[in-house]
Amino acid sequence: MSQPRHALVTGAGSGIGRAIALALAARGHVVSLAGRHAAPLDEVSREIAATGGKSVVIDGFDVTDAAAIAVGSARAIAACGEVAVLVNCAGEAPSAPFERTDAALWNRVIGINLTGTFLVTQALLPSIRKAGKGRIVNVASTAGLTGYAYVSAYCASKHGVVGLTRALALELARSDITVNAVCPGFTDTPLLDGAVETIVGKTGRTADEARANLARSNPQGRLVAPQEVADAVLWLVSEGASAITGQAIAVAGGEVMTG
C-alpha cells in the first residue's frame, strides 16, 4: 500500500505467520498479531518493538470459534483502527493414510484451514471495506494446487482455500479490495517438523535425511524460507499489485507451475 496501515495476521506466533508479521511491521504497518496463545505472540511483538515497529497482541483468537473471532477482531480494531490488510495464515498439517484419517482429524483440519479462513474473512470484511483499498491474502499451499499422498485432509482444505480465494475475488472485483493466495511448497518452519517426524518414524531415516528428501521435491533442491513467502505477501498488499486478484501464487522453486 502507498501508506502503511493496520494489518491483522492469524497464526502470527510462528513460522510463516511470524515472518509475514515481521515483514509487514518492517514496512511500517501496525500489525495485530492474532493467535490462540499469548506467549509466542508476545515474543513476536517484542521483536517488532526492538526494530521500532508497532504491534498489538490478540491472543485467544481461535479461528474455529466465531465468538472468539468477534471478540479478537473488536479488540484489534479498537486498538489500531479499521483493518486494511488481512492475512489468513493459521493452519495445521497432520499426516495420515486416507484409510486412517478419521472424521475427527478431517473435521479439525478443514475447520482450522478452510472454515477458519472463511470465518475470519467474513468477520473482518466490513472493516476492510471501511478501511478502503483492502488486501486479503490467504496462505494456502502447493497442496492447494496439486495432490500429495498421506495428507488428504490437508490437500482438501487447501484446495478449498484456493477456491474460496477465487470466488471472493470475483465478488469483490468491482470494489477496491483484492483477494489472493500464496501457495508455499515445503517451507522450513515448525509445521514442517511434523512431516519430518512422520518420515523418521515410518522409515527410520534421520531428521536430516528426511529434510533432504522433502527438499528434493523442489527443483531448486531446497526448502523455501519463510521470508520468501513473506516477500510475496508484501508485494500482494502493495499499491503496485492493485490489478492482481484471484491468484494462487506458488512459492515453491518451480515444483508447481500455475498457468
Q: What is the structure's pLDDT at 215?
A: 81
pLDDT in tens, 179-212: 999 999 988 877 777 666 766 666 777 777 777 8
Over residues 29-49, the mean pLDDT reads 98
| Pairwise pLDDT comparison (2 vs 189), residue with the higher score | 189
| Pairwise pLDDT comparison (217 vs 237), residue with the higher score | 237
Q: Are strands 248-251 and 178-184 parallel, antiparallel or unpaired?
A: parallel
Give percent above pLDDT 90 in the chain.
Answer: 80
- Cα–Cα–Cα angle for 47, 52, 57, rounded to 5 degrees: 50
- Provide the grid cell at 38: 499469548
In a domain, 112, yes or no: yes
Q: What is the structure's pLDDT at 1?
A: 43
Active-site annotation holds for 150: no
The domain that contains 162 carries what CATH number?
3.40.50.720
In a domain, 202, yes or no: no
Supply the angle between the helices 15-26 and 190-203 in degrees, to the nearest 10.
160
In a domain, 14, yes or no: yes
In a domain, 42, yes or no: yes
In a domain, 149, yes or no: yes
The answer to pTM > 0.85 is yes
* Rounded CA separation 254/259 (Å): 12
Tell me how many domains the chain contains: 1
* Rounded CA separation 165/176 (Å): 15
In a domain, 82, yes or no: yes
In a domain, 197, yes or no: no
Exactly one of 16, 124, 134, 154 is catalytic; which is it? 154
Q: What is the structure's pLDDT at 2?
A: 44
Range of the domain at 27: 6-188+225-250
In a domain, 124, yes or no: yes
Examine the pLDDT at 229 and tell me if it is beyond 80: yes
